Structure 1
Amino acid sequence: MSWLTIIILIILIVFIIGTIIHMYNNLIELRNRVKNSYSQIDVQLKRRNDLIPNLVETVKGYAAHEKGVLEEVTKARTGVMNASGVEEVSAADNQLTGALKTLFAVAENYPELKANSNFQELQGELSETEDKIAYARQFYNDVVLKYNNACQKFPSSLLAKMFGFKEEIFFEAPAEEKAVPKVEF
């Protein structure tokens, strides 16, 4: 074997090893981004969960006979706090969102509550937090898409299988939120 052949083989081996290392590191980086983006959703859900008791107490003072609605919000909040994993958190979060919609619908019946500055401030903060949750979900799904693509595309799919990288689950809206609303005049 000539020196030129040996040098070419060494360069080829170094290139292959470098490519494998790069693909592996890319999979690690993407997996960590998925975890980080999920944590961002978690942070916003916690912020919303921290606002809810204040909101419930404010409404309680005005709408004492709406006890069932307030209990449903509290129960749904507890469900979010105790949930783990994307699917469980997503389901609990959807339940809480529905309970909050009901709470705000009830608040419409109490003009003095709607005029209360504390209620308005809490409602504004909650609305802002909902926007942040929506953005965090979108970001999470974007990162999951990149990660899942890396796990499925050749040749990184070979490394993904070899090292146990598993596809992640997307955050999805429940079926009732995907339905086209019926508008009547």
Structure 2
Amino acid sequence: MKMEIHKNLEEKMNKTINALKDELASIRAGRANPAMLDRIVVEYYGSPTPIKQIAAITAPEPRIISIQPYDGSALSSIEKAILQSDLGVNPSNDGKLIRIIVPQLTEERRKELTKVAKKTSEDAKVVLRNERRNANDRLKKMQKDNEITEDELKTAQDEVQKITDKFIKMVDELTEKKEKDIMEV
């Protein structure tokens, strides 16, 4: 049962790390990154559709994102969705594909994005700590129900803490990497 709690904890924490990776990928750094467009939803035949489902998105050069819709009629709605997004970029439409030139970030904007990355990672840490608390609560309940001894409880809680520390370290590493990415000129 203790092992099950630890395994369950690791699974939940892995999901949190994956969510953090996705969230950090969508934060714009100095380079063009197709993941920047992941949150953009396009009005396509009357229904909101994620941009990556209706177009091929590539970064042929470090500062350019190329968007080629599978259906040419979606070109204008993709362009409109990008303009309405919070990316702060101007798409150029040549009739077949859309190019986005990612401008150089200002120092002020870099610092702002770094703060966003830190906040995102702090949110992930809160989730990890909540998972730790839940696991410890389950262990305490097991001890209260005489399923495990006090020594086993202590050992299991130490293991929960080790798992939590490992994942918090991963969050810190991911955040540090993203901050370097953002601050890179």
TM-score normalised by the chain length of structure 1: 0.32
Query: Which structure is larger by alpha-carbon Rg, 1 or 2?
Result: 1
Q: Which has the higher contact order (CA 8 A, sep 6+)?
A: 1
- Point out the structure with the larger strand share: 2
TM-score normalised by the chain length of structure 2: 0.32
- Point out the structure with the larger helix share: 1
